[in-house]
Structure 1
Amino acid sequence: MTRWLPFGALVLATGVIAFVAGWQVRGVTETDVIERYAARYLAEAGEGARRTDCLAVPGEGRVWIEVHCKGFIYHASRSGRLVFTSRPEGPQA
C-alpha cells in the first residue's frame, strides 16, 4: 500500500497543475489579447498612434492571434503571452 503513495501523489499533483493551467487559459479571450497588444503598440509607437490602427487575424501553429498595428505585428499564444514581435520591412528602393 505505501509503495503506491508516491505514485498517487505524483498523479494528484499533475492533475492539479493541469487544472490550474486550463483555468488560466480559459479566462483569456480574443478581446483581451487584442486590447493588451493595442495598448503596447500605443506605448511603443508614441505620438500619432491610435488604438484603431490595430486589427487581429488568426495565427498559425503555436500562434493563436496576430495583432497587426501599422508596422508592428504581435504574435500571441493561446494563453495570451507574446510569442514574438515582427516589423515587416517596407518596399525596397
Structure 2
Amino acid sequence: MTPGLRIWAPVAALVALAALVGYLLGARSAAPGETEVIERMAALYAEEGGRISDCAARPAASDGLWLVVRCACGGAVREYFVDVYGRLAHRRAEGVLMQC
C-alpha cells in the first residue's frame, strides 16, 4: 500500500460513513407528503364511523401547524390539526357522528 493511500483511505471511509449516517437520519426525520397525511387523518375519521370521502384539507393558519383536515357528515364535524412533521397535534369534534 502506498503512503498516500494509507492516509486517504481511512479519511474517505469516514466521509462515506458520515454521508450514510446523515442520509439515514435525514430520511427518518423528513416530513411525509400532504397526501399521506390527509389519508392518515381520514383513516382516523373512518375509524370513528365516517367515510374517507367526507374529508378535505386546507393549510393551517396557526404557527407550528401545517394542515387542518376537516371531515364533515351531516351536522358532525371533525377537524384534525397536523404539525409540520405530519403528526396529529390536536383534534376537535362537534356533533354526533352518525352513519352517513
Q: TM-score range by the shorter chain?
A: 0.5 to 0.7
After TM superposition, the runs of 4+ consecutive aligned structure 1 residues lying more than 6 A away are none
Larger Rg: 2
Structure-2-length-normalised TM-score: 0.60
Identity %, equivalent residues: 36
Letter in 1 for 2:88: L
Structure 2 SS opposite 1:72: strand
Letter in 2 for 1:84: H
Note the aligned Cα RMSD (angstroms): 2.1
**1:27 Cα deviation (Å)?**
4.9
Stretches of structure 1 lacking an aligned partner (at least 5 in a row): 1-15
Report how many aligned residue pairs link the two structures.
69
What are the ranges of 5 or more consecutive residues in structure 2 without an aligned counterpart?
A: 1-20, 96-100
Q: Write the deviation string for residues 32-77 of structure 1: whole angstroms up to 9, x where unpaired.
A: 1000000000001x1xx21110000001211101000010000011
CA contact (8 A) 2:31 2:84 kept: no
- Please state how far the C-alpha of 1:79 moved relative to its aligned partner: 1.3
- Calculate the TM-score normalised by the size of structure 1: 0.64
Kept in 1, the 8 Å contact 2:56–2:71? The answer is: yes
Question: What does residue range 1-93 of structure 1 map to in structure 2 within 5 Å?
Answer: 20=25, 22-44=26-48, 46=49, 49-59=50-60, 60-70=62-72, 71-88=77-94
Which one has a larger percent strand, Structure 1 or Structure 2?
2
Q: Is the 8 A contact 2:57 2:69 kept in 1?
A: yes
